[in-house]
Structure 1
Amino acid sequence: MTITTMLDYEFIRYGLICAVVVGLCAPTVGTFIVQRRLALLGDGLGHVAITGVAVGLLTSTQPLWTTLIATVSAAVITELLRTYSKASGDVALALMFYGGIAGGVFLTSLASDKGVANLHSYLFGSLMTTTREDAVAIGVGGAAVVVLMVLLLPWLSSISIDETYARASGVPVMALNMLLLCTAAVVVSVSMRVVGLLLVSALLVIPVVTAAQIGRSFKSTFVLAMIAGALVGGGGVVVSALLFVPAGATIVLLGIALFVLVTVAAALARLVSKNRRGGPAKADAISLSSAD
């Protein structure tokens, strides 16, 4: 199969659109999450989403909506626990991990064998079964996330860099934290058909840490992360279709490969730049010593 003939298939076109959209929107949220050292938040919400999918399968409801309700509820509860209880952020994330897995296993055991089989596609992603309705839902949700994050970039960056100073400056920290977690929940819900719930955190984190290797400011890292996410998402779908391998795993592995490549290239560039600055200085020192 060539790239030209691959695009003749409708499900591949829809899958490509979904992957690019998710690749664009996930890093916009992930930039703030990584800055706040909450990289495992996506994993926690992904585990809660398993319960949401199981509820959808049991009730014959569209899993996207039950998952969205479950993840947003978990995000709100997590922020309330972190703010008003003695539980730290790590403890709140741990509760999401354990509760999400336990709820998913319990409810899945009540489902039929068909329900269990359908759950597998949400755990590991199933781009090849993407429909037009899925593409529309992901496109609308992804666009809303990108627009919201761009509009709130100054305020979200301030609470991500120094939450205490932002609170003292009158920034509504609590509301912005809640909004950020709820937006992350939306990203997890729309991403589950692309990379799967068990790998969803990868698109929140990997493009961001890749962009951080070459970004010189918060804003440049934000933009570069979106570009990296879109390239990884689209490229992963193309490679998976050409090699007939799972799209979710391919996207994640491609993201890791891009991270390694950018990290090595950035390190080499810094080394060359350092040597160029040090070379003339060293030569000048030698010449001055000789002159003396």
Structure 2
Amino acid sequence: MDLPFLKYTFLQNAFLTGVMIGLLAPILGVFIVVRKQSLIADALSHISLAGIAANLMLGKKYSFFDGLNPIYMGMFFSVAGSLCIEKLRKVYKHFEELAIPIIMSAGIGLSVIFISIAQGFNTDLFNYLFGNVLAVKQSDVITIFFILIAVVLVIFLLYKELFVLSFDEEQAVVSGIKGKWIQFAFIVMVALVIAASMKIVGILLVSSLMTLPVAASIRIATGFKQTFFIAVLFGEIEVIGGLISSYYLDLAPGGTIVILGVLILLLSILWKKRKVTRKLSH
């Protein structure tokens, strides 16, 4: 089979970026789902959009921002939004779930304001909204590579602490785990991965990479660690399969990746249902 991404630089960049995101998003997604914070990815993607819009707005007035990669401003806003979520979780201690819609609303509001000041949408903004593999640059690949290294190191060094915090935060604190700083590190990692994933699947679809592979994996896996491996496998199948399919079928990469994820999820649900039925019949 002829693989065109081995010939063209922009497809090489998209493929490398996709492979790294296919690894990163499900790994963090497992912890997010266990924490019952699946919507946090949507909130941070919307606040990232505000950062992208702010960069485009400032680029019309200042040459510095015009030459700055918008993804960096998106990361800055995403990290700031993640810290605000953690702060609001402490403010609304008995209603922690409120933190996510508050930040999501703020992100949407800021995005609309910045876009209106910038005098409407342009091609760059649409690329970030829906994803565009043609827009992935070598600098994006390098950025995501460093994020990948940082995330893998943190997960490796703090796996036990993250595991306990995800299932029982109060027990973790009682056990002497420094939950505040670990939560801080985790939420910042999520923010960076979300911002880095925008060019492949788009801001409106990025949360699916953190939830769909995990949702499918949960139906099949028999343990927490196995959930990680299967989620990463499904994530890579989604991204690589989606990129290749979108190229040959001339479809939008972001949408193709997400629909492939939905199909994998449906198959996992059917597989589990059939397995249970067979077990009961015996």
- The two structures share one fold, judged by TM-score above 0.5: yes
Structure 1 CA distance, aligned partners of 2:138 and 2:210?
24
- Deviation of 1:112 (Å): 4.8
2:90 paired residue number:
83
Structure 1 CA distance, aligned partners of 2:46 and 2:263?
26
Structure 2 CA distance, aligned partners of 1:233 and 1:146?
19
Letter in 2 for 1:11: F
Structure 2 CA distance, aligned partners of 1:199 and 1:3?
29
Assess, with a 3 A threshold, how the Cα gap between structure 1 residues 142 and 275 changes in structure 2: closer, same or farther. Answer: same
2:62 paired residue number:
none
Structure 2 CA distance, aligned partners of 1:140 and 1:234?
21
1:97 paired residue number:
104
Contact kept, 8 Å, 1:6 with 1:241, in 2: the verdict is no
Contact kept, 8 Å, 1:108 with 1:116, in 2: the verdict is no
2:159 to 150, 153, 156: 153
2:240 to 234, 238, 241: 234
- Deviation of 1:199 (Å): 0.7
Contact kept, 8 Å, 1:47 with 1:197, in 2: the verdict is yes
2:63 paired residue number:
none
Larger deviation: 261-270 or 81-90? Answer: 81-90
1:287 paired residue number:
none
* 1:33-62 residue CA offsets vs partner (Å, 9 max, x unmatched): 100110000000011011110122123232
Contact kept, 8 Å, 2:29 with 2:210, in 1: the verdict is yes
Provide the secondary structure at the position in 2 that maps to 1:133.
helix
Larger deviation: 73-82 or 166-175? Answer: 166-175
For the pair 1:19 / 2:18, whether they are aligned, the reply is yes
1:73 to 69, 80, 83: 80
Provide the secondary structure at the position in 1 that maps to 2:216.
helix
Contact kept, 8 Å, 1:20 with 1:231, in 2: the verdict is no
Assess, with a 3 A threshold, how the Cα gap between structure 1 residues 270 and 81 changes in structure 2: closer, same or farther. Answer: same
For the pair 1:143 / 2:149, whether they are aligned, the reply is yes
2:202 paired residue number:
196
For the pair 1:258 / 2:264, whether they are aligned, the reply is yes
Structure 1 CA distance, aligned partners of 2:246 and 2:169?
41
- Deviation of 1:7 (Å): 3.2
- Deviation of 1:86 (Å): 5.2
Assess, with a 3 A threshold, how the Cα gap between structure 1 residues 262 and 86 changes in structure 2: closer, same or farther. Answer: closer
Structure 2 CA distance, aligned partners of 1:99 and 1:5?
41
Larger deviation: 194-203 or 130-139? Answer: 130-139
Contact kept, 8 Å, 2:21 with 2:193, in 1: the verdict is yes
Between Structure 1 and Structure 2, how many residues are aligned?
A: 274
Provide the secondary structure at the position in 1 that maps to 2:103.
helix
Structure 2 CA distance, aligned partners of 1:27 and 1:147?
16
Larger deviation: 38-47 or 156-165? Answer: 156-165
1:290 paired residue number:
none
Provide the secondary structure at the position in 2 that maps to 1:252.
helix
Letter in 2 for 1:245: L
* Structure possessing the higher radius of gyration over alpha carbons: 1
Contact kept, 8 Å, 1:54 with 1:107, in 2: the verdict is yes
1:281 paired residue number:
none
* 1:194-248 residue CA offsets vs partner (Å, 9 max, x unmatched): 1111111101111111111111111110121111111111111000111111100
Assess, with a 3 A threshold, how the Cα gap between structure 1 residues 118 and 16 changes in structure 2: closer, same or farther. Answer: same
Structure 2 CA distance, aligned partners of 1:46 and 1:141?
17
Structure 2 CA distance, aligned partners of 1:129 and 1:82?
36
Letter in 2 for 1:139: F
1:282 paired residue number:
none
Assess, with a 3 A threshold, how the Cα gap between structure 1 residues 167 and 5 changes in structure 2: closer, same or farther. Answer: closer
Contact kept, 8 Å, 1:3 with 1:238, in 2: the verdict is no
- What TM-score do the two structures reach when normalised by structure 1? 0.89
Assess, with a 3 A threshold, how the Cα gap between structure 1 residues 174 and 199 changes in structure 2: closer, same or farther. Answer: same
* 1:83-124 residue CA offsets vs partner (Å, 9 max, x unmatched): 1445732221111111101111111112256x6321110011
Letter in 2 for 1:31: V
Larger deviation: 15-24 or 4-13? Answer: 4-13
Structure 1 CA distance, aligned partners of 2:197 and 2:218?
22
